[in-house]
Amino acid sequence: MKKIITISREYGSGGRIIGKKIAENLGYNFYDREIIDMAAEDSGLSPEFIEKTEQNISSGWLYNLLLGTSYAGTTAGATTQQIGTQSLPLADQVFNAERKTILSLTDKPSVIVGRCADYILRTSDTVDSKDLLNIFIYADFDDKVKRIMERQSMDEKAARKAVQQVDKCRANHYNTFTEDTWGDRKIYDLLVNSSTLGIDQTIEMLTAFIQKT
């Protein structure tokens, strides 16, 4: 059975709850928001800063330019890191902090959601590819909108806009910090449309699949 499962997901596809329930079914550790807190503790960046920075960028250098040095001064520990004569952009500091945290989670069976974990682990020399399973969860657009309307108490217009914007931000984040393209079928082991079976049966199907790997 695969030791490390990564879940990449479209907004509103149910990917987070699918990952959490799979972890519960298998007795694995589950990491999502927890990565922010762990990265913050290790790096000195504030959890609030990491959460805000994660996917609200199109590129690290541009985000740092827009942010300006004043933000670093108001964020606990968010000083620029010097590399030679160059400063590492704040967004890159966040990515590196989360990368270090994700790599530290591979000693125990785990399900890891988002944060480029599939790429980070797939390209790491310290992770055996035989232990890794990368899954991408997507869903029909109308189903995603409906789920966000219910979960966030939004009207349909706002939910449609949110789904489009968040998925665009996730793609920008992934495409900026990796050498791959978010959602490209060639880089995942499984792509699953959660609309086909519904959330509960998707969880059952993936749990059974992982148990057979």
pLDDT of residue 55: 59
Q: What predicted TM-score, i.e. pTM, was given to this entire model?
A: 0.85
pLDDT of residue 70: 31
Residue 103 to residue 98: CA distance in whole angstroms: 9
pLDDT of residue 42: 85
Mean pLDDT by 10 residues, the chain (213 residues): 97 98 98 93 86 62 40 37 53 88 96 97 95 98 97 96 94 92 97 98 98 93
User: And the tokens for 77?
Assistant: 């520990």
Q: What is the pLDDT of residues 82-107, one digit of tens each?
A: 434 346 677 788 889 999 999 999 99
CA angle 163, 164, 170 (to 5 degrees): 85
User: What domains are defined for the chain?
Assistant: 4-211 (3.40.50.300)
Residue 81 to residue 111: CA distance in whole angstroms: 30
User: And the tokens for 154?
Assistant: 């939004």
Are the C-beta atoms of residues 75 and 49 closer than 8 Å to each other? yes
